[in-house]
Structure formats: structure tokens, C-alpha cells
Chain A
Amino acid sequence: MYDLECINIAKSFGSIRAVDDVSFDIPSGSFFSILGPSGCGKTTLMRMIAGFEEPSGGDIKIKGRSVLGTPPNKRNVKMVFQHLALFPMMNVYENIAYGLRCNGVGNAEIKRKVHDVLERIALPDVAEREIHQLSGGQKQRIAIARCMVLDPDVLLLDEPLGALDLKLREAMKIELKLLQHQFNTTFIYITHDQSEALVMSDHVAIMNQGQFEQIGKPQDLYHRPKTAFVAAFVGDSNRWSGRVKSSDGSGGKVETEQGLEMAFTAAGGENIPEGASVEIFVRPEFIHAVRQTDADADDAAATGDNRMEGIVDSLLFNGANSRVLVRGPQGELIEADVTLTGQNDIRPGENVYLFWSSRQAMCFASRGAA
């Protein structure tokens, strides 16, 4: 039994296909994210699920029943809007009670439910407050409570963290995940921010140009992207274009346009023949940068079958996420993660070796250009 199934759903605005033949289903109680750049059609998809747009084709089923033709106010799908859309002319209590009143729930019952839900979001004392008296994080929780009090089959969240500042956003990510566990309701979370999607979700769908590129667990998307788009969009990568010099189909040697040679592994289950144009992705954390004079340079070499010499161009210090930019022999810049201890660290201008494994050099056949 799925809480939500979308079957070949499509939506066109004039000649533009905003959502193009998308199918997926979400099991009960999971946190599902749809991640994509702006304009990829994710908001349209969400609006179709909520009932604000009618699909041009396909079917949407909630708890196994098709909701096509059901008006938004009759669907048991609630939505947290991008700017939350709390009603400023009502206080917190009335905001939460609104949906219950629409459903004709009695006053005593409303009171009980509102206090219950406020308890659950850990804001028991704000019932009488006006919306403008709340902090950003509190508003967020009230917006969720306003939906959850109605016990929806699916909760849609449309980039609700976008308006918050960085610190609060980080905190809210965790809180949202906890709330989802607590309510045990299916959350569908729309975002263009990959870290939000990766941190919170059980499953993530990557959407691009109206289509799903890949659906999977966050780790799968990160480590085993099926398409070049997913590899580029999820996480950071060093990216090269190149041509395959030798290949057994699943791996071989490639030469980049800059003339850099490396061993690769075909990603996404593709078969990559000799002579194919390809895109190569190597994540910075899989590249080891070692001082050429260091004693352990040879040890480091064992971690990768690709090796390159370079000069440290600059150091991007960011605590645990620090990085070096290394200028290679052809003049291109390569990013590599480094651990900085504060003692005897790599400095700009030093000569380094870069090592990485061919298993981490993900290769995709170039689209169209081949």
C-alpha cells in the first residue's frame, strides 16, 4: 500500500512540458524529497498532487484511490507553503483550528486537538499569540502543526526552509526529520537545496527538465549516480570532458580535453566503448593531496591508481571541510579535500601529488555530443 502513487503524470503549459511523464510511488510513513534546480517542474508536480493544477495526463492516487477531479479542499493532502501562508489576521490557535472548523469539528474537540498538536511540536504556550509575534522557527512549526492537526495522508512541503537564515535552517532540518518520525506521516519535500534533501530524506528523486533523473536513497544518489546530471547536481565534483582511449566497456583509460590521462569506471551501468566522448566526475573528498617531499607520499599512492603532479594554488579553509585548489600541469584547477591540523599543513605554492582511485572517477557518455 502506497500513500501516494503518480502514474505517467504530465503537465503542459501551452507548448512547454513542465512535467513530463513522471511515475513514482511513496510508501507509507517515509520522508520523500524531490530535488531539482528551479524551473525543473517540481513545484508544478507538487501543485498537481495538492490539486491546484489539473494534470494533462496520467493519474494520481492517494491511499490507492485516484484523486483526479477531486478539488483541493477534498483531498487529504496538506501543504506547507514556501512562505508558510499563515493567516496573519488570526492568532496561532485560530490558524490551527481553521482546518478543523472547515471539517465541522466541534469546539471542544478543536480545543483538545489544537492543544495536543501544540504539545507535540513543543510550543504549548503560543496558542494566543499573533503570527507576527512568532520567530521564524516557531512559524515553521505552526505551519506544520496546522496541517498535521488534520491528520493528512500526505504532507507536502514546498521549500519551507528557504526563507530562514543559515543557522536556523540547519536546526530546522533536524527538527523536520524528527517531526516526521513523530507524526509518522508521509512527507513530500520539495527543494533545490541538496543538503536539505540528503540530510532529511529516506528517498530522494532528482528532477530535471520535467523528468525524474533518478530516485533513490541519498547515499545511492551520491555514490552511484545514474546520470551525469545527478553526479553534477548532487554534491561537489571535479568535472572533465574527455575521450575514451581504451575501454573494456565498464572501465579503462580516458584523456581529458586538457590532455590529462586517467583510469575510469563507467557509471550508471552504462557501457562505454573506446572512442566515446565522456564526462568524468571525481569528488574532492576522494582526491588525496600529498606534499611531494613527504615521506608518506608512497603510502598515499596506494590509495589511488590515478596520480598527478601539481602546485597548490590556494587553500580554502573551512574547518573540517577545508579544501585545496591545485593547479595541474595543463593549468587546470582541481579541488581536493584536505584535513588541516594546524601544524605542518600544506601551504600555497608547494608541490603536491594528487591521487585518486579509478573507482571514484565516474564516467558518463556525453549526451548528444557523442
Chain B
Amino acid sequence: MLRFPGGGLMLQKDFRRLAMILLFAPFALWIALLVVLPHIGMIRLSLREKVAPRVYEFGFANYLDFINEPIYWNTLLRTGSMSLLVTALALLIGFPIAYYIAKLASNRTRGALFLICLIPLWVSDLIRAFGWILLLRETGVISSFLQWAGIVNQPIEFLYNDVTVIIGLVYTVMLFMIVPLVSTLDGMDNSMIEAGYNLGGNGFTVLRRIIVPYAMPGIVSGCIVVFMLTAGSYLTPILLGGKNSSWFTEQIYNQFITRFNWEAGAAFGILLLLFTSTVIWLGLKLSGQTLANTVAKS
């Protein structure tokens, strides 16, 4: 120790570094094995062209296929725009709820409200979709009720159209919008809102200039999560959708499973990832937020 004054120190430093490595190794491994490697595999697969059974060549045919087939990119655009609509609706409905939970509700009602938002997630996608089917079908609860109440004199089909898909998706993703919103709004000092009024703002001004800008990180993070979940959802659009409601994940599934075309499926998967990433990047740019102060925070 005395002869090698730096020795002990070095040892300690090395030890600490080793501890850090050991601590992060599982996490890094997890990221590498479950996120990075599969995507590299997907990219490789997507750049393969099938020329004959068991014979493949490198090429961009799968991507060209996508570009040359309007059905594919139309479906992707449709999926994207409907996901944006779902995100917007979830925000419009979720914001007042989140505001109520964070600012107005007593502790007890808060818990109850959170629970109500959580309930949809307790049952599987499939059960949830069948729940909607039971309610909305021609001979379902709502149609029967309307007939019983004498509002309509014929059964009405609410199922199998885009509106149903959107309702079902909004219902599913609501919690993911509300949680980040509540957590940012919760951190907002009430006096901020009072100051907004005190300085002469009316309700709308306070909402637009103070509450919304303050909640922006929560809004953006909720929107990102909801948009990703929606664009990547499979069962809800398939089960509730009508004859024309194509969803891009359905096409990926079809490529992989019914058409045994893994190459095209992989290409579609990569394209979906790129598409959603681009939309989110644009959203971040437009709202002036970064990933670090939105998703990472809430």
C-alpha cells in the first residue's frame, strides 16, 4: 500500500468497472439478443430474392415489390392515417380524463378511475374484440336496445367498418395515453394554472398557453406509445374490421404465414418500422420535443 500508492486505487477502480460491466451485461445482452439481432436477421432476410426452391439471391426485389404494388403502400398509408386518427382521438378523450385524475379527483376516485382505465388490459385482445362484437353486431346488445327503445325499427349493424376498428383501438390504447399525461400533469404546480387565470387568461388561454405546453412531454410520449401500439396492432383491426379494412400487420402476417414469403414479410416489417419511426420523428420535430424528455421521462 505504501510502496504502491496507486495500486489500491487502481484495483478499486478496476473492480468498480467490472461491477458496472457485470451489472449492464444482462441488459446489453437482452437488447442484443431480443432487439438488435432479430432486426439484423430481418434486414438480411428482406434483402433476399427467391429465384427457385431453396435458391436465393441478394437483391431489393421485395422492396421494389412494395413500391410497385399500390395495394401495399395504400394499406400502409391507410394503417398510418388511421393510427394517427386513433392517436388524436385517444388524446382528445384522454386529456380531460387525465386532467381530471391529476388535478380534480380526490385520492379515492383517482384510484377508481385508474382502475377503470386498466380494466381493458386485464383481458386479452381477443376477448376484448369479442366483447365489442357482442355489443355491436346486428343482433347485438346495442342494436337490440335501440329496437327495444323504439328508436329504430330495424336491426343496425355497427360492426365490420372502420369506425368500429377505431373505437376498438382507442379503447385499447386509452391507458397508454392517460398514464404519461397524468404523470406530467401531476407534476404541474396548481398555482401555475391559477397564475394563468390571475394574469388575465380565460379558460381557453390557460389551456392553450399553459396547461398544454406544460404537458407537452406527456402528450408527445403518450402519442408515440399509442401510435406505435396502434400501427402494430393485429387482432382488433382484423376482428372488428369490415370487408375492406386492410391493416398492414395483416399483410405482414399473410406474407409470413399464408404465402410462405418470409422475404417479403421481412421487408414489410422493416418498412413498417421505418414508416412509424419517420412519423414519430416528424411528430417530435413539429412539437419541438426530444425522445429524451418525453418517453424516457414518463
- Please tell me if the beta carbons of B201 and A98 are within 8 angstroms of each other in the complex: yes
Across the interface, which residues of B come within 8 angstroms of A73, CB to CB? 197-202
Report B181 CB to chain A, min CB distance, Å.
16
- Known pairs A88-B214, A89-B214; A50 contacts B192 (CB<8 A): no
Q: Is the CB of A99 within 8 A of B199?
A: yes
Tell me, yes or no, whether A231 is within 8 Å of chain B by CB. Answer: no
Task: Give Cα A72–Cα B196 distance, bound, in whole angstroms.
Answer: 10
Chain B positions 189 through 217: 1 when the CB is less than 8 Å from some CB of chain A, otherwise 0: 10110111111111001000110011010
Q: How far is the CB of B214 from chain A (nearest CB, A)?
A: 6
- Chain A nearest CB from B147 CB (Å) reads 47
Quick check: B194 and A72 within 8 Å, CB to CB? yes
CB of A103 within 8 Å of the partner chain: yes
Q: How far is the CA of A102 from the CA of B208 in the complex (A)?
A: 12
A78 B199 Cβ-Cβ under 8 A: yes
Q: A82 at interface (Cβ–Cβ under 8 A)?
A: yes
Q: Which of A62-81 contact B (CB under 8 A)?
A: 71-73, 77-79, 81
Q: With a CB–CB cut-off of 8 A, which chain B residues contact A99?
A: 199-201
Which residue in A72, A82, A83, A150 is a CB contact (below 8 Å) of B197? A72
In the complex the two chains form, what is the Cα distance from A71 to B202 in whole Å? 9
Which residues from chain A contact B189 at a C-beta distance below 8 Å?
83, 85
Contact across chains for A87 and B192 when beta carbons are under 8 A apart: yes
CB distance from B290 to the nearest CB of A (A): 14
Interface size range on A against B: 20 to 34
What is the total number of residues of chain B having a CB less than 8 Å from a CB of chain A?
18
**CB-based contact A89/B216 at 8 Å:** yes
In the complex, A150→B200 CA distance in Å? 9
Assembled-state Cα–Cα distance A307/B191 (Å): 54
| CB-contacts of A281-327 with B (<8 A) | none
A contact residues around B201 at 8 Å (CB): 73, 98-99, 102
Question: Which residues of chain A (144-181) have a CB below 8 Å from chain B?
Answer: 146-147, 150
Q: Which of A71, A85, A90, A147 contacts B191 (CB 8 A)?
A: A85
0/1 per residue, B157-183, Cβ < 8 Å to A?
A: 000000000000000000000000000
Check if A2 is an interface residue, CB within 8 A of chain B. Answer: no
B residues in contact with A146, CB < 8 Å: 199
Assess the A87–B191 pair: CB atoms within 8 A: no
The reply to whether the CB of A24 lies closer than 8 angstroms to some CB of chain B is no
Q: How far is the CA of A99 from the CA of B216 in the complex (A)?
A: 21
In the complex, whether A229 has a CB less than 8 A from a CB of chain B is no
A89 touches B199 (CB 8 A): no
Among B194, B198, B209, residue most surrounded by chain A Cβ atoms (within 10 Å): B198
Q: Is the CB of A52 closer than 8 A to any CB of chain B? A: yes
Distance of A8 Cα from B201 Cα, bound (Å)? 29
* A102–B195 touching, CB < 8 Å: no
B210 and A87 contact, CB distance less than 8 A: yes
A-side contacts of B196, CB under 8 Å: 87, 98
Q: Can you list 10 pairs linking A and B with CB atoms under 8 Å apart?
A: A78-B199, A79-B194, A81-B195, A83-B189, A87-B214, A89-B214, A89-B216, A98-B209, A102-B200, A150-B200
**9 shortest interchain CB distances as A-B pairs:** A99-B199, A102-B200, A85-B195, A85-B191, A89-B213, A81-B191, A72-B197, A102-B201, A73-B197
Interface residues of A (CB under 8 A from B): 50-52, 71-73, 77-79, 81-83, 85, 87-90, 98-99, 102-103, 146-147, 150
11 additional contacts (CB under 8 A) given A85-B191, A98-B196: A50-B194, A52-B194, A72-B194, A78-B199, A79-B194, A79-B195, A81-B194, A87-B210, A102-B199, A102-B200, A102-B205
